[in-house]
Amino acid sequence: MDNRPIGFFDSGLGGLTSVQELHRLLPEEKVIYYGDTARTPYGSKSPETIRRFATQIVDYLVSKNPKMIIIACNTVTSWALDSLRDRYPDIPILGVIRPTVRKVVEDGCKKVGVIATKATIGSDVYGKSLKALDPDIEVHSLACPAIVPLVEEGFIDGEIMELTVRHYMDDFVRTNQFDDLILGCTHYPLIAGHLNKLYPGIRLYNSSAEVIHEAKDILTARDMLASGSELTDRYYASDLSDNFISMTDLLFSGTDFKIKFVKLED
């Protein structure tokens, strides 16, 4: 048993969708979350900047003594997973991409769409990793850079987001005719309702959720699951945006948590 918290981070509130899955699958676990709301979005930044921001956040989370860190961000996973693991070799650091790729290949998907930020699509980590496991898989990738800023501003349900989704997706779906779609950004589960309504029949794969299954396997194998912890979940943000607060309240109402503003050195 290990009652230390699990550290999570994202450029903003997207990674909260991963915490939501943790609460569902492993309700005994406690969370320290860092959302870099002052510097979101990461998806249009350079790999160097993404790595610098991610390193600052992981240094901060490590100062809180977590038993594991989950990079609840595809953009950071694409560009900084290896360097973060090199920096902290003794802490399990999980990215969101490998578990998602494994699930898609295990399910036998053959024609797959991937939507994500510019930086994630630019890295082609999804394409390369899928093809490494299944050379016959067909992968179609698309960057959707306006979605994260809209989510961070609270435009999630409603017409503005629906039009934005259609702007990116209508042609992409029509041209490529894939059966399965990877939500390669942890903000995107929040727009799954639009995708299901607009493109029924396309199966969605959720990178926020798949990583939690991997976390469960690792914690179980190492006998590190929590039990009866009296800690409180803690959410930190580099800027306390109204939407970060209301989204945290909405997703985790009924659980005991604290939100605090912590700016990191640049």
Structural tokens at position 78: 């694409």
Return d(Cα 191, Cα 206) in angstroms, integer. 11
Stretch that binds ligand DGL, among 7-15, 24-32, 81-89, 98-106 (CB under 6 A): 7-15
**Measured from the CB of residue 108, what is the shortest distance to ligand DGL in angstroms?**
25
Return d(Cα 124, Cα 251) in angstroms, integer. 31
**Measured from the CB of residue 138, what is the shortest distance to ligand DGL in angstroms?**
23
Instruction: Using CB under 6 A, count the residues that bind ligand DGL.
Output: 17
Q: Which is nearer to ligand DGL, 14 or 92 (CB)?
A: 14
Stretch that binds ligand DGL, among 51-59, 179-187, 196-204, 228-236 (CB under 6 A): 179-187
120, 123, 238, 241: which one contacts ligand DGL (CB under 6 A)? 120
37, 100, 117, 243: which one contacts ligand DGL (CB under 6 A)? 117
Q: Is 74 in the site for ligand DGL (CB under 6 A)?
A: yes
Q: Which residues are catalytic?
A: 73, 185
Instruction: Report the number of secondary-structure helices (H) and strands (E) in the chain.
Output: 11, 10
Q: Which is nearer to ligand DGL, 14 or 66 (CB)?
A: 14
Side-by-side strand order, sheet with 31-35: 93-94, 68-71, 6-10, 31-35, 233-237, 257-261
Q: Answer yes or no: are the C-beta atoms of 113 and 142 closer than 8 Å.
A: yes
10 Å CB burial of residue 63 (0-12, 13-18, 19+) is exposed
First to last CA, the chain: 36
18, 37, 75, 243: which one contacts ligand DGL (CB under 6 A)? 75
Q: Mind giving me the DSSP string for 217-245? A: HHHHHTT----S----EEEEESS--HHHH
7, 14, 92, 99: which one contacts ligand DGL (CB under 6 A)? 14
16, 18, 19, 40: which one contacts ligand DGL (CB under 6 A)? 40
Binding site for ligand DGL (CB under 6 A): 10-12, 14, 40-43, 73-75, 117, 120, 148, 185-187
